[in-house]
Chain A
Amino acid sequence: MDKNISFTLKVWRQRGPKEKGQFVSYPMTDIPTDTSFLEMLDILNEQLINKGEEPIVFDHDCREGICGMCSLYINGHAHGPATGATTCQLYMRRFKDGDVITVEPWRSAGFPIIRDLMVDRSAYDKIMQAGGYTSVNTGGVPDANSIPISKEKADLAMDAASCIGCGACVAACKNGSAMLFVSAKVSQLALLPQGQVEAARRAKAMIAKMDELGFGNCTNTRACEAECPKCVSISNIARLNREFICAKLKD
């Protein structure tokens, strides 16, 4: 049965990228447990606006777990305590009455804070621009199944393609490594015949861009996989390593 809970929200407030930030506590009373986490933040923001204070800035868009915009680090977990779910899919029933809920932005040199809980994740777009595509002139729409692809490969490619580019992997990684994201984007193409033509160039270009943007080195802690809202597997990282090492050895 749904009930109402009261708790303290400890939120990171920072006016701008160069400003010094700090935690601010907000008491929240009588919040129904079937409220989503983002709806709860909306309630708080409405209260702040009514009091004439600045609302908390946070990223959100589809609110159904597919756009990859919401990006909160809640109680020590990227996207909060739920597994296989984004922040927008997190509900207040996960918390208890009297809790202190700590909300922080993704913290990584590759994702600088814009304001409060909003970070700049355009680094991921730059990595995609470096090689996360197929530059094949496709012409007209080909017939279905004109290029045979095994079910196993198609499934793995689809699993890799489930990455929504939210940045939770970087936020959860103690090294700030973007390898899970890059490996998913490399794998979704490298597994398919259409993507294999440029596989070597793609792996090299995307890794070079990832390194240039200041992301860390993967040490296989598996925190990315554990916190990924789409449960993308680190077997993709092994594939990326394979692609990259083979490409470099061929050079």
Chain B
Amino acid sequence: MWLIDSSIGRKVVMSVTGSALIFFLAFHGAMNFVALISEDGYNAICEFLGANWYALVGTIGLAALIAIHFIYAFILEVRNVRAVGGLKRYSRKERPAGVEWAAQNMLVLGIIVILGLVLHLTDFWSKMQFQEIMGSTATVEGLGQVSPTDGAALIGYFFGKTHIAILYLVWLAAIWFHLSHGFWSAMQTLGWNNAKWLCRWQVIGKIVVTIIIAMFALVVIGFWCKAHCC
């Protein structure tokens, strides 16, 4: 199977799963942004998704995408370390001009993203969709019992805490760096690139990724301001 045993095939899997995850983030970001405009509107979205069959199918698909992307990243890394003869290579190494920092640190950035994901699932998913699946309600210290569809209350509670807001912003910055390389790299791996389109994909990628991350970041900053300035 070429998607498993060829180097380009393995990269194609990374590109396709990565692109799908960018699509997901775009939807997630747009839905979050609603919370800034109308908290009731955001809760309506939470209710619409909830633990309905389509949301569950989506969640399972998403978990599979993340798992495949993560497992392949480690398979690639192990093979790449072996290909250069171990972790210690040159005694002196300089990054040539034109090589992005993010491009050379995708695995580290990916690990930060996964760690942030654990925090995010604990803060939100475990108190929302998970509770609905289990047929129970979560109790949050300082908030009491929270309905699984009252996402706005959870957002307000968590992003109102400065240390959590900072952690989320750091996490979002890591995702931005990861995606700023990942976007055009996916196009390159799929062969949809040439000398003219290389710069175009890089610019398009940065714009798309900045919009997506800005939607998330504005929600964090907005709710922090609501808690501290209003």
Are A207 and B99 in contact, CB atoms less than 8 angstroms apart?
Answer: no
Q: How many residues of B contact A (CB 8 A)?
A: 43
Name the interface residues of B111-159: CB closer than 8 Å to any CB of A: none
**Which segment, of B19-27, B37-45, B78-86, faces chain A?**
B78-86
Number of residues of chain A lying within 8 A (CB) of chain B = 50
Question: Which of A102, A216, A237 makes the CB contact (< 8 A) with B83?
Answer: A216
The smallest C-beta distance from A119 to any residue of chain B, in angstroms, reads 11
Tell me the minimal C-beta distance from A155 to chain B in angstroms.
11
Find A109's partner among B83, B184, B185 (CB 8 Å cutoff): B83
Q: Are B192 and A238 in contact (CB under 8 A)?
A: yes
Asked whether, in the complex, the Cβ of A176 is within 8 Å of the Cβ of B96, the reply is: no
Does B99 lie within 8 Å of A222, measured CB to CB?
Answer: yes
Q: Which among A102, A104, A175, A238 is the interface contact of B188 at CB below 8 angstroms?
A: A238
Could you tell me which residues of chain A, from 216 to 233, have a CB within 8 Å of some CB in chain B? Answer: 216-223, 225-227, 233
Q: Does B52 contact A (CB under 8 A)?
A: no
From known contacts A218-B11, A220-B185, infer whether A235 and B195 are also in contact, taking CB-CB under 8 Å: yes
Stretch among A43-51, A56-64, A71-79, A193-201 lining the B interface: A71-79
Q: Which residues of B contact A76 (CB under 8 A)?
A: 90, 92-94
Give the residues in chain A near B82, CB-CB below 8 Å. Answer: 109, 214, 216
CA A235 – CA B199 in complex, angstroms?
11
Contact digits for B191-212, partner A, Cβ 8 Å, 1 yes 0 no: 1111100100000000000000
Specify the chain B residue showing the minimal Cβ separation from A77.
Answer: B94
B227 contacts chain A at the CB level, 8 A cutoff: no
By a CB distance below 8 angstroms, the chain A residues around B80 are 174-177, 216-217, 219
0 or 1 for each of A8-33: is its CB under 8 Å from B? (1 = yes):
00000000000000010000000000
Within 8 A of B (CB), among A170-193: 172, 174-177, 179
Known pairs A75-B94, A217-B76, A226-B98; A245 contacts B83 (CB<8 A):
no
Q: A234-B188, A235-B193 are in contact. Are A227 and B83 (CB under 8 A)?
A: no
A75 to B96, CA, bound (A): 12
- Can you list 9 pairs linking A and B with CB atoms under 8 Å apart? A104-B90, A107-B89, A172-B96, A174-B84, A175-B83, A214-B83, A226-B96, A226-B97, A241-B8
Which A residues lie at the B interface, using CB under 8 A?
23, 73, 75-77, 83, 102, 104, 107-110, 172, 174-177, 179, 207-208, 210-211, 214-223, 225-227, 233-235, 237-246, 248, 251
Closest 7 CB pairs of A and B: A242-B191, A216-B83, A76-B94, A226-B96, A176-B83, A238-B193, A175-B80
Residues of B within 8 A of A (CB): 2, 5-12, 76, 79-80, 82-85, 89-100, 103-104, 106, 181, 184-185, 188-195, 198
